[in-house]
Amino acid sequence: MKSALLIGSALLASALPSAALAEPVLLISIDGLQPADIIQAEQRGIDAPNLKRFVAEGSYAAAVRGILPTITYPSHATLLTGASPSRHGIVGNNSFDPLQINQGGWFWFASDFKVPTLWDVAAKAKLTTANVHWPVSVGARAITWNIPQIWRTGHNDDAKLVKALATPGLIESLEASLGTYAPGIDESIQGDETRGQFAAALIAREKPYFTTVYLTALDHEQHEKGPDTSAAHAVLSRIDAVVGKIIAAQMLAHPDSVIAVVSDHGFSKVDTEVNLYRAFIDAGLIEIDASGKIKNWEASPWNSGGSSAVILKRPSDPALVARVAKLLAELKADPKNRISDIATAAQVAQMGGNPDASFYVGFAPNAYAGGFKGGSAPLISPSGSNGMHGYFPMDRSMLSSFMIMGKGVPKGRNLGEIDMRAIAPTLAQAMGLTLPDAEVAALK
């Protein structure tokens, strides 16, 4: 298996700002933004004038090769640290929960980072920081003004939860003129538009040196309707307007800014759900009680959309390893199960993936891993989604986006295909900082 973390084409000299510039940085993430959505916006019929500015007035990657798994939280952690999941610690969206008792809890908490983030190095340099909705931001002490991402049920208490975990009084003070902030579980375009208003107002009022903003509606729409659809394109056009307002606020606050737009992964159309829990239950690796709940496990899937880590209770037990390897090989041998790859622990380590995974299952592009649905769910079922990501990073449909413009950034420069881990050290360099645990060098 080829490494998924090879750096792409060589970059031209003097492509991006040098460390001597030390300018304020705004980092905006558009979840699920495919490179061609902007680079080929006209051909795709996408109206995105603010994002197209980056292609004409700044530098951009033809594609960004991601990490394992190509899902939101691990990717956003890499975008902040320049490290792989095996090193930064955010190895999935959801925390490992083999007994299914955590009510779908995610890696919300910044305390799970094992290496410094851009927020941390900025704060250490006594630079102010702000955040609106970026993943893994709850409790991030390095953020001066923080509106973290977290939700539980969609109940009205979620709004109280976000306010309790945000910088004290921050949301309330902004709501006085902007109205109600969007709840964490709201992934609609209206939610993005609201968060964009809050981000622009926060930038205008506080003028932070480093700001992160996360927009999620495009990802939501592509899961619901599929990638490369008119519905997804319409949402992206509205996101473009949100980005334009945030950029305008940033340039008023800091005319010498460097502004970057990134995404975390691409997208694949899907029609099939594969429930590994069914196979593990039938093989006696997961034991179900009379009420349909998991009461014991020897091996468990840890799903990540188009792939799934396989965790063993006793990873050093050769008999258990062999038993699970045999089961996975049998599943892969049947084409209807849509398994394209099975990575060993050594191969997972080479890709910088979950260090606790004894295996990593990669699905065919039209299939993805289904969650636990009790003891009666079938192995194969029609998809409940029309779009998915999370596939192994060598899958070309998973390529993501990077665009940058501002002081010192050459205009119209195509950076070729880059490694996602190069983005964070590049932004640190633009601020005159360094990231100690970045695994590759900044773009040059």
Residue 442: inside a domain, yes or no?
A: no
Instruction: Confirm if 290 and 57 have CB atoms less than 8 A apart.
Output: no
Based on the domain organization, do 263 and 311 belong to the same domain? no
Residue 3: inside a domain, yes or no?
A: no
Residue 89: inside a domain, yes or no?
A: yes
pLDDT at 422 over 90: yes
Q: What is the pLDDT of residue 1?
A: 42
Query: How far is Cα 190 from Cα 186, in angstroms, rounded to an integer?
Result: 8
Task: Compute CA 341 distance to the chain's CA centroid, rounded to the nearest angstrom.
Answer: 22
Based on the domain organization, do 374 and 415 belong to the same domain? no
The number of beta carbons lying within 10 Å of the beta carbon of residue 338 is 21
Residue 429's nearest CA partner among 232, 210, 138 is 210
Q: How far is CA 189 from CA 193, 256, 334, in A?
A: 6, 30, 40
Instruction: Confirm if 150 and 108 have CB atoms less than 8 A apart.
Output: yes
Residue 280's nearest CA partner among 295, 262, 299 is 299
Residue 59: inside a domain, yes or no?
A: yes
Query: Hey, what are 441's tokens?
Result: 């060098």
Instruction: Confirm if 374 and 268 have CB atoms less than 8 A apart.
Output: no
pLDDT at 253 over 70: yes
Which pLDDT band, with edges at 50, 70 and 90, does 13 fall under?
A: very low
3-state secondary structure of 193: helix
Query: How far is Cα 443 from Cα 160, in angstroms, rounded to an integer?
Result: 41
Structural domain of residue 259, as residue ranges? 25-268+395-430
Number of domains in the chain: 2
3-state secondary structure of 289: coil
The two counts, helices (H) then strands (E), for the chain are: 15, 21
Place of tokens 């968060």: 195
Based on the domain organization, do 290 and 205 belong to the same domain? no
Based on the domain organization, do 247 and 120 belong to the same domain? yes
φ/ψ (deg, to 5) at 179: 90, -170
Q: What is the pLDDT of residue 245?
A: 98
Based on the domain organization, do 244 and 379 belong to the same domain? no
Based on the domain organization, do 244 and 332 belong to the same domain? no
- Largest CA-CA distance found in the chain, in angstroms, rounded: 65
DSSP letter string over 198-218? HHHHHHHHH--SEEEEEE-HH
β-pairing, 286-288 vs 294-297, is: antiparallel
Q: What is the pLDDT of residue 444?
A: 87
Question: Dihedral, CA atoms, 50, 55, 59, 62, nearest 10 degrees?
Answer: 120
pLDDT at 302 over 60: yes
pLDDT in tens, 99-122: 999 999 999 999 999 999 999 999
Based on the domain organization, do 81 and 111 belong to the same domain? yes
Query: How far is Cα 95 from Cα 303, in angstroms, rounded to an integer?
Result: 10
The number of beta carbons lying within 10 Å of the beta carbon of residue 234 is 16
Q: How far is CA 441 from CA 196, 429, 435, in A?
A: 31, 10, 10
Based on the domain organization, do 162 and 34 belong to the same domain? yes
From its phi and psi, is residue 408 left (phi > 0), alpha (psi between -120 and 50) or beta? Answer: left
For the whole model, what pTM was predicted?
0.95
Based on the domain organization, do 157 and 195 belong to the same domain? yes
β-pairing, 258-262 vs 402-406, is: antiparallel
Residue 435: inside a domain, yes or no?
A: no
pLDDT at 432 over 90: yes
Which pLDDT band, with edges at 50, 70 and 90, does 375 fall under?
A: confident
Query: Hey, what are 219's tokens?
Result: 């990802």
Mean pLDDT of 291-306: 97
pLDDT in tens, 159-188: 999 999 999 999 999 999 999 999 999 999
Query: Hey, what are 228's tokens?
Result: 């490369």
Query: How far is Cα 263 from Cα 403, in angstroms, rounded to an integer?
Result: 10
Which pLDDT band, with edges at 50, 70 and 90, does 21 fall under?
A: low
From its phi and psi, is residue 101 left (phi > 0), alpha (psi between -120 and 50) or beta? Answer: alpha
Q: What is the pLDDT of residue 11?
A: 39
Residue 78: inside a domain, yes or no?
A: yes
Question: Dihedral, CA atoms, 383, 384, 386, 390, nearest 10 degrees?
Answer: -80
Residue 20: inside a domain, yes or no?
A: no
Omega before 355 cis (within 30°)?
A: no
Instruction: Confirm if 406 and 257 have CB atoms less than 8 A apart.
Output: yes
Check which CATH number belongs to the domain holding 163 and give it. 3.40.720.10
pLDDT at 6 over 80: no
- Side chain identity at residue 347, one-letter code: Q
Place of tokens 């030390």: 22
* Cβ neighbours for 319, distance < 8 A, ≥ 6 positions apart: none
Based on the domain organization, do 207 and 161 belong to the same domain? yes
Mean pLDDT of 318-328: 98
Based on the domain organization, do 347 and 401 belong to the same domain? no
User: In whole numbers, what is the pLDDT of the chain averaged over residues?
Assistant: 95
Residue 425: inside a domain, yes or no?
A: yes
More confident residue, 225 or 7: 225
Angle between helices 230-253 and 49-57 (to 10 degrees): 60
φ/ψ (deg, to 5) at 29: -110, 130
pLDDT in tens, 119-140: 999 999 999 999 999 999 999 9
Which pLDDT band, with edges at 50, 70 and 90, does 263 fall under?
A: very high
Based on the domain organization, do 158 and 170 belong to the same domain? yes
Query: Hey, what are 279's tokens?
Result: 């196979």
pLDDT at 19 over 80: no
Q: What is the H or E stretch that residue 131 is in?
A: strand 129-132
